[in-house]
Amino acid sequence: MRSSVPVGGKLFALFCLASYLLSLSYGSTFLLSLLIHSRGGNEHDAGSVISMAMLSTFVAVMVSGHLSDALGAARAIAWLGILLVLACLGFALTPGFGEGLMFFGLSLGLGWGVFYTLGPIIVAMLVEPAQRAKYFALLSGSMMTGIGSGPLLGRAASALGLPLTAAFYIAAVASLIGIVMFWRLGAQLKQRPNLLGAASVSKISWAATRQVLSSKAVFAIIMVGLGGCVFGGLSSFQTSYAAAQSLDYSLFFLGFMGAAITSRLFIASLVVKRDAYWAACVLSGVMLVSILLFGFVVHDSGSYLVAAITLGVGYGLTYSVINGLAANEAPAGTTSQALLLFSLAYFIGVFGFPFLAGKVIVEYGMPTLLMGVLAVAALNWLISVARLIWRRVSAHKILQAT
């Protein structure tokens, strides 16, 4: 890989703002359960719509490298971002909760998949490996702000006496502005050949995939998939959880978003300087504690907010740490492919798990879903513990051999 150059402050700020605006479209999907309920559907129907996005994200990950090489990463995001606008408008305008919404779920997955995949790759090609975790945290903080703002638009619409669909219209307009910004960013990157060359994305191949999956990077890829299950399962049906507890779902998104953003923007720079294996272990443990709070402790607004904040800190910082591990532990020359697979694993969790979660809620209830999410979070934590133990055993064997 060519030696990277420092990121221009203004350019990166515009990049983060555009990312925030596009992320509102995905954040609005956390209102789908509420919207579909108002149309006579249930959590299973909402999970089915969200899970459709998983299918199109497979396509998005496979073609994103080709699109980036042909159009430039920023222009590719702008073109496919149109599908995010289409999805938001479709969710708002399509009556009922049947096949029409399924189509717009596919549209969402394709647009979000290309954006989510190419965004971190642009950052990885712009900065030195030692700074990747920091800039990943800044980018993901911007994206998380947009994701968390989506459901709050629904709460604001309700407070103002507007229909829930108003939140989807606002998200569509915001995404359209983000598209224009990414288009203009593409022009700026063309004027900076050194950045454009660094941002060129290698196409994914079976050979590179095998290399990545046989390296240490595979553990970070598995962990992000499990973390995506936790995040997708809780966030997609938080309106149902809050209703069952007679709580205001906006508290979850305010607490979660505030904690995730604050930790990524102000704490991540300190965390990434620590041992990454230990950081992943501690932070995935914090995420596990948050699920225990949701399952056994939450009974009022105060405890609800504490649980959301705990999840935001644990999930938010764990993601930043393992994102850096996936990039830095990939074999030489496969950083782009490692990040593509990292994104793919995340999508499988965040879009695929809600299908199972919705079915579990309808057939067995919310407590059963929380136990399932707890098991996933525990497995995620155990992987980080096993990595620490294995590293210690390996180091001991090396010392004995010498």
Q: Which two tokens stand for residue 276?
A: 């990454």
Q: Look at residue 371 and tell me whether its pLDDT is greater than 70.
A: yes
Q: Which two tokens stand for residue 97?
A: 């909760």
In this prediction, residue 191 carries a pLDDT of 60
Enclosing H/E stretch for 337: helix 335-347
Q: Which two tokens stand for residue 115?
A: 């954006």
Enclosing H/E stretch for 83: helix 73-93
> For residue 311, what pLDDT band results from cuts at 50, 70 and 90?
very high
Q: Which two tokens stand for residue 167?
A: 């939140």
Give 378: exposed, middle or buried? Use CB within 10 Å, 0-12, 13-18, 19+: middle
Phi, psi of 329 (to 5 degrees): -95, 0
Q: Look at residue 7 and tell me whether its pLDDT is greater than 70.
A: no
Domain 9-401 has CATH 3.40.50.300: no
Of residues 188 and 180, more confidently modeled: 180
CB-based contact 139:120 (threshold 8 Å):
yes
Q: Look at residue 241 and tell me whether its pLDDT is greater than 90.
A: yes
Q: What proportion of the chain, given as a percentage, has pLDDT over 70?
A: 90
The CA distance from 63 to 219, in Å, is 24
Q: Minimal CA–CA distance to 137: which of 318, 15, 282?
A: 318
Of residues 95 and 293, more confidently modeled: 293
Per residue in 114-155, pLDDT (tens digit) is: 998 888 777 766 677 777 667 777 888 888 889 889 999 998
Q: Which residue has the tokens 């009556």?
A: 95
Per residue in 147-176, pLDDT (tens digit) is: 889 999 998 998 999 999 999 999 999 999
The CA distance from 259 to 180, in Å, is 30
Q: Which residue has the tokens 């103002």?
A: 160
Q: Look at residue 8 and tell me whether its pLDDT is greater than 70.
A: no
The CA distance from 164 to 31, in Å, is 8
Q: Which two tokens stand for residue 20?
A: 């925030």
Tell me the mean pLDDT in the region 192-220: 72
Rg (CA), the chain: 20
Tell me the mean pLDDT in the region 365-375: 96
For 105, how many CA atoms within 13 A lie in the half-sphere containing its CB? 23
Neighbours of 206 (CB within 10 A): 7
Residue ranges covered by each domain of the chain: 9-401
Question: CA dist 63 to 55, 68, 105, 120, Å?
Answer: 13, 9, 18, 16
In this prediction, residue 2 carries a pLDDT of 43
Tell me the mean pLDDT in the region 33-43: 89
Of residues 105 and 204, more confidently modeled: 105
CB-based contact 179:81 (threshold 8 Å):
yes
pLDDT, mean over the chain: 87
In this prediction, residue 65 carries a pLDDT of 77
Q: Which two tokens stand for residue 363?
A: 């057939």
What distance, in Å, lies between the first and last C-alpha atoms of the chain?
A: 34
CB-based contact 108:83 (threshold 8 Å):
yes
Tell me the mean pLDDT in the region 174-203: 70
What angle do helix axes 335-347 and 301-328 make, rounded to 10 degrees? 150
Tell me the mean pLDDT in the region 61-89: 89
Three-state SS at 172? helix
Q: Look at residue 53 and tell me whether its pLDDT is greater than 60.
A: yes
Minimum mean pLDDT range among 95-104, 174-183, 273-282: 95-104
Neighbours of 130 (CB within 10 A): 12
Q: Which residue has the tokens 């049947």?
A: 98
Residues 6+ apart with CB under 8 A from 296: none
> For residue 381, what pLDDT band results from cuts at 50, 70 and 90?
very high
Q: Look at residue 352 and tell me whether its pLDDT is greater than 60.
A: yes
Distance of CA 135 to the CA centre of its chain: 15
Across 154-211, the runs of DSSP E, i.e. the strands, are none
Question: Which of 85-99, 165-179, 324-338 ranks highest by mean pLDDT?
Answer: 165-179
Query: Which DSSP symbol is given to 97?
Result: S
Minimum mean pLDDT range among 143-157, 219-233, 283-297: 143-157
Q: Minimal CA–CA distance to 146: which of 272, 29, 286?
A: 29
Question: CA dist 193 to 9, 70, 118, 119, 126, Å?
Answer: 17, 15, 18, 18, 12
Tell me the mean pLDDT in the region 68-90: 91
Tell me the mean pLDDT in the region 233-242: 92
